[in-house]
Amino acid sequence: MAGLTDRTYHHGDLKVALLAAARSMVEEEGGDAFTLREAARRAGVSHGAPAHHFGDKTGLLTELAVQVMSERVEQVEAARIAAGPDPVDQLKACGMAHILFMISHPRLERLCWQDTLVHRDDPALLAVLQRMAAGLIESMSAATGKMLIPDKEANPSTLLAISVVHGFAQMVNERVILQDVPEQERQTRALAMADDMLELVGTVFGNELPKDV
């Protein structure tokens, strides 16, 4: 046949090869620039091959999104453990970890929320988002001293915390702020700003706390 140079007919590890190709493509050029055919090309395989493993373009990207979100959850969890015993410290550490991950992987982060590229209702994706939410609830419960039910949306403090973290990272990524800062400085400056900001947010929780928990 054509196209088969030294490889065997069966690739052997095509699924992970395609995911790796997709990851680097998205990282470099963004989710919109991802192409099933180019991914197949990079994996050294015909353009029809991916269908057998992912069925669909969005199928492939959905698996990538799950991968990315899992990494994010793990890194946040690690940061919380490293933060020591104080729950408010833990909460801040989680926020910083979220922000760090998001601004370190802007295009991957964006991908995970693009419903034209990802099956937002995929069970695995929903599961990892669930894990993310659970971590937040736990941190929040510890920090405010009261047990919070998973109906996180009713609580203004929790909402404030997520919104700040999510919003700040998004604005950095979308160049709403720090537009003209050179790439190398961007991250450190963003983190410094985030630190100040989350400190300020901490005062909100400080105010509504009995102060001795």
Q: Could you list the residues that contact a second copy (CB under 8 A)?
A: 30, 32-33, 113-117, 120, 129, 152-153, 156-157, 159-160, 162-168, 170-171, 174-178, 193, 196-197, 199-201, 203-204, 207
Shortest distance, CB of residue 162 to a second copy, whole angstroms? 7
Shortest distance, CB of residue 66 to DNA, whole angstroms? 18
- Is 53 a binding residue for DNA by CB under 7 A? The answer is yes
CA distance 37 to 58: 13
CA angle 178, 180, 181 (to 5 degrees): 65
- Is 171 a binding residue for DNA by CB under 7 A? The answer is no
Q: Between 52 and 211, whose beta carbon lies closer to DNA?
A: 52
Phi, psi values for residue 65, rounded to 5°: -60, -40
Buried b (16+ CB within 10 A) or exposed e, 90-124: bbbbbbbbbbbbbbebbbbbbbbeeeebbbbebee
Shortest distance, CB of residue 30 to a second copy, whole angstroms? 6
- Is 35 a binding residue for DNA by CB under 7 A? The answer is yes
Separation in Å, CA 16 to CA 22, 31, 39, 60, 175: 10, 18, 11, 10, 32
Residue among 19, 26, 45, 83 that touches DNA (CB under 7 A): 45
CA distance 176 to 128: 28
Q: Between 1 and 147, whose beta carbon lies closer to DNA?
A: 1
- Is 58 a binding residue for DNA by CB under 7 A? The answer is yes
Could you say which of DNA, a second copy, none residue 2 binds, taking C-beta under 5 to 8 angstroms by partner kind?
A: DNA
Q: How many residues in total does the chain contain?
A: 213
Element (H, E) at 40: helix 36-42
Contacts of 112 (CB under 8 A, 6+ apart): 65, 68, 69, 118, 125
- Of residues 4 through 23, those in contact with DNA by CB under 7 A are 4, 8-12, 14
Q: Between 44 and 59, whose beta carbon lies closer to a second copy?
A: 59
- Choose one: 22-30, 40-48, 90-98, 184-192; the region binding DNA (CB under 7 A): 40-48
CB 141 within 8 A of CB 148: yes
Which tokens belong to 169? 């990272």
Given the rule CB under 7 A, which residues bind DNA? 1-4, 8-12, 14, 34-38, 40, 45-49, 51-53, 56-58
